[in-house]
Chain A
Amino acid sequence: MNIHAWPDYLSQLWPGLRTSFLLLVALVALGTPLSLLLASTQRSHRKAVRWTTIGIVEFARGMPSLVLLYLVYFGLPSFNLTLGAFTAASVALAINYAGYTSDAIKSGLDAVPMGQVEASEALGLSRGVTMRRVILPQAVRIITPPMLSWIIVYFQTTSIAFAISVPELMSKAYSIASVNFQYLGVFAVAGLLYAVVSIPGSQLVSALERRQQRGTP
């Protein structure tokens, strides 16, 4: 194992890591509003709305992320809609992410006491104002740690975008290694790059969780 070459691999992998991050930013930016929407429609009083939402959520997370990725990338052209690999990966992973995270958002919203909604109703606040000004600010505190840990999970999941050749970290690693045949060194550095982001991330989440457990009255 030639450890001296590792800094060199690192600099070659850097653009790939950047693309992985961009993909993460894109999927979180697309997925979070969708997740919020799914969480609130899951709380709807109308049965039809609730069941439709549950159907969408189960569809979004019932299949492997990889299959959803292929479905968006190779399936949308049937509707005369062809997305580039990066966009397709962002959309597919955003749907997948929204499916998983909507539960975390829903339980955060559910954790806000019913009395808060009643007080808002009694004050004549509209549903929109109640959501934005009363429920969300209280739910955000509860939701932040699980959402952060999902974001870390999805940072790792961006690696499957390799399968449709998005030039992210794994694609970069694969193309470097298939030229210099240094599979061990290149993949080890790539793997460590994931770990270097994920481990501090999970520690931040645990720190937040501990602080919250202390903070709750």
Chain B
Amino acid sequence: MTDFFHYLTVLSSGVRYTLELTFAAVGLGLVLAIPVTAARRSSSRAYRFLGTAFVELLRAIPPLPWLFLVFFALPTMGLTPLQPMTAGILVFGIISAAYLTEIYRAGFRAVPAGQAEAAAALGLGPFHTYARILVPQAVKTALPLALAYFIGALKDSAIVSVIGVQDISARAVAQNVANSNGLIVFLAAAAIYLCLSLPVALFGRWLSYRLGTQNAVRVGA
């Protein structure tokens, strides 16, 4: 038991990196997903195709190959090698843009078509229609989904340990190599991830209860 608490303190030095990576990546994704969503909802067939291709391709290939492409392959093309952390943020940022696009779309789909029609009938322009009418209603559906996605991203981010980001998982691997006490080390790592995701999960549950949008749409893990 004392071992467990010992590892807990040792591993928590990685929490910073895990959180930094997840927040930066999801933040990047939240912004990048806006133009992609616009493309997917566009009336232009070409934009729609590009948007769809972006989302489908990013979701059809697991994070690890993307990570290796960015971290190992880009430098062979004459680009400056990226820091592991930067590569991680970039890869997970772009991947989360794809998933968040789907979440934004689910949010807009949940707004009845009559709302946009009513706004148009009142003479509102596209900007005001989105900003004042559609987005505030779409948020109700999208926010709980985005929180669930955030938890998924927090856990998925563990894979950046294989390119050397010193996150929780990387520290756990190092402790395991040094002490070969895998059971306790990785239980401690699991406990830390659980502590990080639990508050978000509870907040998400409370939020969807408040917003009355339980079990809206499922998104990939």
Interface residues of A (CB under 8 A from B): 58-59, 62-68, 70-71, 73-79, 100, 107, 146, 149-150, 153, 156-157, 159-160, 162-163, 170, 173-174, 177, 181-184, 187-188, 190-192, 194-195, 198-199, 202
Contacts and interface: CB of A to CB of B under 8 A. Distances in A.
A57 B156 CA distance: 18
A1 to B, nearest CB: 8
Given A62-B197, A153-B220, A159 B64 contact: yes
Main secondary structure of the interface of B (DSSP, over half): helix
Main secondary structure of the interface of A (DSSP, over half): helix
B111 interface: no
A195 B57 contact: yes
Contacts of A177: 68, 72
Contacts of B162: 162-163
Nearest to A178: B72
Contact of A74 (B59, B68, B176): B176
Task: State which size class the interface on B falls in.
Answer: 35 or more
30 contacts: A58-B194, A62-B194, A62-B197, A63-B189, A63-B190, A64-B156, A66-B169, A67-B193, A70-B189, A71-B182, A71-B190, A74-B183, A74-B185, A75-B183, A75-B187, A79-B183, A160-B64, A170-B65, A173-B65, A174-B68, A177-B68, A181-B76, A184-B76, A187-B65, A187-B73, A191-B66, A195-B60, A195-B61, A199-B60, A202-B59
A158 to B, nearest CB: 8
